[in-house]
Amino acid sequence: MTETLTALPASVREVFQTVVARNPHEPEFQQAVHEVLVSIAPVLDEHPQFVDGGILERIVEPERQIMFRVPWVDDAGRLQVNRGYRVQFSSVLGPYKGGLRFHPSVNLSIVKFLGFEQIFKNALTGQGIGGAKGGSDFDPHGRSDAEVMRFCQSFMSELYRHLGEHTDVPAGDIGVGAREIGYLFGQYRKITNRHESGMFTGKGVQWGGAEVRTEATGYGAVFFAEEMLRIHRRSLEGLRVSVSGSGNVAIYAIDKAWQLGATPVTASDSSGYVVDDDGIDVALLRQVKEQERARISEYAARRPNARFVDGARPWEVPVDVAIPSATQNELDESDARALIDNGVRAVAEGANMPSTPGAVAALQGAGVLFGPGKAANAGGVATSALEMSQNASRQRWSFSDSERKLRSIMKDVHDAAFEAADRYGHGGDYVVGANSAGFERVAHAMLAQGVI
Ligand code: GLU
């Protein structure tokens, strides 16, 4: 990683070297910082005040990091201890905002990379939200509802003191869906004696949640792909699409791909992927993954023309558009080459940092339209901001109004990234565009608010 930095001014190189020295065991965090620092060089050239004002030194250091013990008792009466995290990265544009992830892979490096990306993603939406992320190494998979509830209650018993509608507003992420958000919100309400709707997003629509929030990340990623194609006078109509994952993002990316005339042909989980040339049956996928919480092979077992491929990722399947929607670093350089060889035209990241740096370089080098997660998956957090607006004004917008707003936000996000890439001499490079447009907004606000 350090080699590519030699082209940069010494001040930027030093910032990255300090990040590596200070955070030696955090490869994902280093990867996320590296990607941003490399791509914003033209912004720094044009705005020396950002370098002089110490924006870089400050932005790579979270405003606050919280780590805490989460003890709970399982159904067998045994004591379990997990670790909880909340990294409050930047509140310069608004209250801290970002999801909670419950997954055994969660550690400080993962939470910090996600929190760092969230700053720029949220800035790009233009909605006045800061950046944060949190979670735990707790694995909800295979746990009873009662165990999940006890875990969530213990988690919130510590985290509540750091939250609030004007302070920090969490939401879901991997492993944190409607069930977990309900338990977390309930415990916050009990401890604080406040029904503070605006302190959490992704709530049930019956108790303050927003229409389309569940669908928003997946829908948004497909809208983003549509915008990228539109620039080249193409549409999604008739295209084959591969999607990885089978959680919230993947399910609704598949759903929207169908609605826009494409055929989504894959879905996956950590055990392997399914390919269905008839197109993925969304209802069956939801039944298997959401209702039964079963493995993805179950889907193939119930569909005549579907095939389960054990232990592999879906990138070997020939498609026109790929939407990685599972997790970080799930699409590497050889996956990218397989996609390119099969003629892929566009990749839109539904997950956070799913493509490795080698994959991004290969895709962009081959002229594939590449929408990085910071832009392509911003629909989720953007709709969270719509939920906060509705909570603050005690309004409820209809599904169709909310979807229209989401679509127009995704167009704005696309256009902001496209325009910034052009302005900085990297036309068509959405990585440079998204990072530059997000960074500019944050950096101007940091300068205006002084050294804090
Ligand atoms: N976890 C989602 C993301 O990565 C959503 C965050 C939110 O809605 O606050 O952006």
**DSSP of 205-253:** GGGTPPTTHHHHHHHHHHHHHHHHHHHTT--STT-EEEE---SHHHHHH
When pLDDT is averaged across residues 21-50 and rounded to a whole number, the result is 96
pLDDT at 3 over 80: no
Tokens of 230: 């539109």
The model's confidence at residue 46, banded by pLDDT at 50, 70 and 90, is very high
**How many Å apart are CA 269 and CA 295, to the nearest integer?**
7
pLDDT digits (tens, 9 = 90+) for 282-307: 999 999 999 999 999 999 999 999 99
> H or E element: which one contains 50?
helix 48-52
What's the confidence (pLDDT) of residue 184?
Answer: 98
Atom of ligand 1 nearest to the CA of 381: 8
What's the confidence (pLDDT) of residue 10?
Answer: 81
- Substitution site in 87, 180, 381 for ligand 1 pocket (most atoms within 8 Å of beta carbon): 381
- How high does pLDDT run on average in the chain? 97
**How many Å apart are CA 280 and CA 266, to the nearest integer?**
7
pLDDT digits (tens, 9 = 90+) for 380-429: 999 999 999 999 999 999 999 999 999 999 999 999 999 999 999 999 99
Atom of ligand 1 nearest to the CA of 122: 10
pLDDT digits (tens, 9 = 90+) for 182-201: 999 999 999 999 999 999 99
Q: Rounded to the nearest whole angstrom, what is the distance from the C-alpha of residue 102 to the centroid of ligand 1? A: 13
Q: Closest Cα to atom 5, ligand 1: which residue?
A: 381
When pLDDT is averaged across residues 171-186 and rounded to a whole number, the result is 97
Q: Rounded to the nearest whole angstrom, what is the distance from the C-alpha of residue 382 to the centroid of ligand 1? A: 8
pLDDT digits (tens, 9 = 90+) for 360-375: 999 999 999 999 999 9
Tokens of 363: 């895709």
Q: In what order do the strands lie in the sheet with 272-276?
A: 266-269, 272-276, 306-310
What's the confidence (pLDDT) of residue 9?
Answer: 76
Atom of ligand 1 nearest to the CA of 377: 10
The answer to whether 137 touches 106, Cβ cutoff 8 Å, is yes
pLDDT at 2 over 60: no
- Low-confidence winner among 7-11, 283-287, 331-335, 432-436 (lowest mean pLDDT): 7-11
> H or E element: which one contains 117?
helix 108-125
Task: Tell me if domain 64-207 and domain 216-376 are identical in fold.
Answer: yes
Query: Number of helices and strands (H, E) in the chain?
Result: 18, 13
Q: Rounded to the nearest whole angstrom, what is the distance from the C-alpha of residue 129 to the centroid of ligand 1? A: 11
**How many Å apart are CA 171 and CA 381, to the nearest integer?**
8
The answer to whether 418 touches 232, Cβ cutoff 8 Å, is no
What's the confidence (pLDDT) of residue 124?
Answer: 98
Mapping DSSP to helix (H, G, I), strand (E, B) and coil, where does residue 344 land?
coil
What's the confidence (pLDDT) of residue 260?
Answer: 98
What's the confidence (pLDDT) of residue 206?
Answer: 95
What's the confidence (pLDDT) of residue 6?
Answer: 61
When pLDDT is averaged across residues 221-250 and rounded to a whole number, the result is 98
User: One of 112, 121, 133, 256 is an active-site residue; which one?
Assistant: 133
pLDDT at 434 over 70: yes
pLDDT digits (tens, 9 = 90+) for 87-146: 999 999 999 999 999 999 999 999 999 999 999 999 999 999 999 999 999 999 999 999
pLDDT at 166 over 70: yes
pLDDT > 90: percent of the chain: 97
Domain boundaries, the chain: 2-59, 64-207, 216-376
133 a catalytic residue? yes
**How many Å apart are CA 38 and CA 16, to the nearest integer?**
10
pLDDT at 1 over 80: no
Q: Which CATH class is domain 64-207?
A: alpha beta
Superfamily of domain 216-376, CATH level 4: NAD(P)-binding Rossmann-like Domain (3.40.50.720)
What's the confidence (pLDDT) of residue 315?
Answer: 98
